[in-house]
Chain A
Amino acid sequence: MDLLDKLAILADSAKYDVACTSSGSNRPGKPGGIGSAVSAGICHTFASDGRCVSLLKVLLGNACAYDCRYCANRRSADVPRAAFTPEELAELTISFYRRNYIEGLFLSSAVLRSPDYTMERMISVLSILRGQYRFNGYIHAKAIPGASPEAIRGLGMLADRMSVNIELPSESSLNLLAPDKSRASILRPMSLITRGTERSYLETKSLSLARTPPQAMPQRFAPAGQSTQMIIGATPETDRAIVRLASGLYHRYRLRRVFYSAYVPVSDDSALPAPNTPPPLLREHRLYQADFLMRFYGFDAEEILPEDSPSLNAYLDPKCSWALRNPERFPVDVNRAELSELLRVPGVGPKSAERIMTARRQTRLTIDDLRRLGVVLKRARYFIQTADTGRSPRISREDTVRALLDHNAGRFGFEQLSLFDTMDRGNRLPGAMDAPTLRDAVEEAVACLASAL
């Protein structure tokens, strides 16, 4: 098969994997080698779906021994099959990297014969890159569920980041849809990687405290840590279950990222959404917002979705939702509040909050000052007190709610509203069935949310 067709097949098979970040490693170039890594990561292009392309993301091979029902590459699927040779893929990576098309390689694979055989092939790709080509750029490698500890160790010594996909948010869904995978076969490699990265970090740390010269430092194990992803909307788990699971993964396994992937139907299977069901993109978007609140804003899962709220709100982002549920926390005085309190204000992000902390050392901040600082006031103004405003925010409940409504929600398509649980603290929010147009649905939602304030 010609390389062009092979690349098309194996990129197409890899495209549902979400992670394409190249962050977490910071490494200058090496004399005699090629490549470096930048801790913030670099996007090299953006695909037609708007996603960042940072790495050459391909499968080593797509002829899978497993038969997971949600997967486009499952054994029983009727799709063209192909595999790269390790030499071929290493050469392709370097020829793309030299032209600055990519930040490095994202290597994943279908299960070729067995988990360990697949891992062996992946290790040989990475060995050629790191050894023969002296490639010093970014590599993300996917660990195959069920792989042996030795294979995990071998792959991790050559990669910057590793990932094991948790695939589905609950064990029962996994048992139903992925008969060859078990919860244990996923969590075991995950915890091996967590421990490997931590041990290697501590080792390096103590050696550097002992002033070991850089050339004598041992190779590090997956220095950019690990990530995972799960499929959203293929199975019945609630948002609350998903957010709690993600929170557990961040705390127990120290994951750097959890990715959420709206399910795109790939087969006609009675256990799965029918073909042509649109992927739940608005729900995925809300889950990412909730995820950011946990990673950068100091929220915990219970605050985002307390026990009586199984579902995120279709009309409001989760931070606005929290603010409306907790009116006693506002207004926040921007001239006195702690950083953690500023981060709770709708519309104020980590950068704005830092800027407020700095600027108020020199002057008492007014609304105009905030505007010049670049704080977006559209939503924030209902929740803050400044040097030139009194204690009570001067607004009607309806205006507040209207300003908080996420106007991007409609962009995902009217029908997406129905993919949420419509109960909000005893009030019923309109779904796509309840109103003739999006505008009517929004008006109804405003009235409903305002009455609950």
Chain B
Amino acid sequence: MPGVGAVTAEVSYRYDGSLAGFYCCVYDSYARREIPAAISADDAEEGQISLIPERWVEVNVGRATRAREGLALKGGARSRELLEHVFLSRVERRETALLAFARRVFEEGPSILERLADPLVARLLKAEKGVLGEAHLLTGFVRFTQTDAGLVSTIGPKNFALPLIAHHFADRFSGEAFLIFDKTHGAALVHEPGKPWAIARMEPPDERPTEEETRVQALWRRFYNTIGIAERYNPVCRRTHMPMRYWPYMTETREHARAD
């Protein structure tokens, strides 16, 4: 791709918020030899009123693929993975940082991944750690409720972690019909036995428990309340490992969350 001679341009890119859309922004930045002053997703609140001219970047699968494959070709699979992980995070001015990263991958090659103390790389690695950390916590903290339609869960994560936990749950519960609804992003992971999983925009699901469900939840709460050792009571340690923002979504802590 032509990379030399790009200048910061008095223009802001606007795209549909998808990963393919973002790769098209990367493509355009090269094709036009310009670095946009800002990039914003269609659903983002910031940048609604902009003082500089805005350009809508249309999703084009061919261009997105070229940018995506070019990135891996120049910087290796790990560079692309880092970009795509951070794309799921909520780091400030995410797209601008990721475009800067992509441009440096094209210029410097995979050695950029060794520049761990570089301010941009350090910032992206930190953001990635946040995303992967939350995804890992969710593999433990997701709670399913048995409803007549199958297993249903609601989560409220900071990052858009559903794509990172989808395989784990589909593999573990391959024989189950389940749904994990991400309230923060208005999307759900849906799985039916024998079919590949899918993530789609969705309204909050019906979580009415079956009669059996109420009984199992009571058993679980009883277990949870028994297992702590009173002489070792340590609320700070509990909150450090299990931040309170997860509590309202978990069977055993829902009531504690309400009380606080």
Contacts and interface: CB of A to CB of B under 8 A. Distances in A.
Contact of A47 (B122, B139, B224, B250): B224
B237 to A, nearest CB: 3
Contacts of B52: none
A337 interface: no
Nearest to B123: A372
Interface stretch (A35-43, A200-208, A393-401): A35-43
11 contacts: A8-B222, A15-B229, A29-B174, A51-B228, A51-B229, A98-B151, A100-B142, A137-B172, A264-B232, A373-B117, A374-B126
A117 interface: no
A215 interface: no
B217 to A, nearest CB: 8
B171 A100 contact: no
Contacts of B173: 29, 34, 98
A47 B228 contact: yes
A101 B143 contact: yes
Interface of B: 111, 114-119, 122, 126, 136, 139-146, 151, 153, 168-169, 171-176, 216, 218-220, 222-238, 240-242, 250-253
Interface stretch (A241-249, A354-362, A433-441, A442-450): A354-362
Contacts of B153: 100
B241 A52 contact: yes
B117 A100 contact: no
A15 B116 contact: no
Contacts of A11: 222-223, 226-227
A1 to B, nearest CB: 13
A403 interface: no
A424 interface: no
Q: Interface majority SS on A: helix, strand, loop or mixed?
A: loop
A279 interface: yes
B116 A50 contact: no
Given A4-B222, A95-B216, A98-B176, A370 B234 contact: no
Interface string A1-37: 0011001100110011000000000001111111110
Interface centre among A16, A34, A44, A101 (most CB of B within 10 A): A101
A222 interface: no
Contact of A362 (B115, B222, B225): B115
Nearest to B111: A362
A49 interface: yes
Contacts of B111: 362
A324 to B, nearest CB: 28
A101 B153 CA distance: 12
B232 A98 contact: no
A46 B223 CA distance: 12
A50 B143 CA distance: 19
A57 B227 contact: yes
Given A49-B229, A49-B232, 10 more contacts: A4-B218, A11-B227, A15-B227, A38-B139, A51-B229, A96-B220, A99-B145, A100-B144, A361-B114, A374-B126
Q: Ordered nearest first, which 10 A-B pairs have the shortest CB separation?
A: A50-B237, A48-B228, A369-B117, A47-B228, A49-B232, A50-B234, A359-B116, A29-B171, A46-B242, A44-B140
B238 to A, nearest CB: 5
A148 B117 CA distance: 57
A52 B176 CA distance: 27
Nearest to A42: B140
A47 B250 CA distance: 13
Contacts of B225: 48
A3 B227 CA distance: 16
Contacts of B237: 46, 49-50
Contacts of A264: 229, 231-232
B223 to A, nearest CB: 5
A96 B222 CA distance: 12
Contacts of A358: 114, 116
A389 B63 CA distance: 49
B229 to A, nearest CB: 5
Contacts of A278: 231
Nearest to B139: A42
A53 B224 contact: yes
Interface centre among B140, B141, B174, B228 (most CB of A within 10 A): B140
Nearest to A370: B117
Nearest to A375: B117
Nearest to B122: A372
Nearest to B242: A46
Contact of B241 (A35, A36, A38, A50): A50
Given A11-B227, A45-B224, A95-B216, A281 B232 contact: yes
A346 B27 CA distance: 46
A171 B237 CA distance: 35
A40 B250 CA distance: 22
Contact of B222 (A7, A40, A100): A7
B141 A45 contact: yes
A92 interface: yes
Interface in A250-266: 262, 264
A369 B115 CA distance: 10
A47 B227 contact: yes
Contacts of B236: 50
Contact of B228 (A29, A49, A95): A49
Contacts of A42: 136, 139-140
A3 B234 contact: no
A359 B175 CA distance: 45
Contacts of B143: 99-101
B117 A372 contact: yes
Given A11-B226, A45-B250, A359-B117, A99 B220 contact: yes
Interface centre among A4, A362, A369 (most CB of B within 10 A): A362
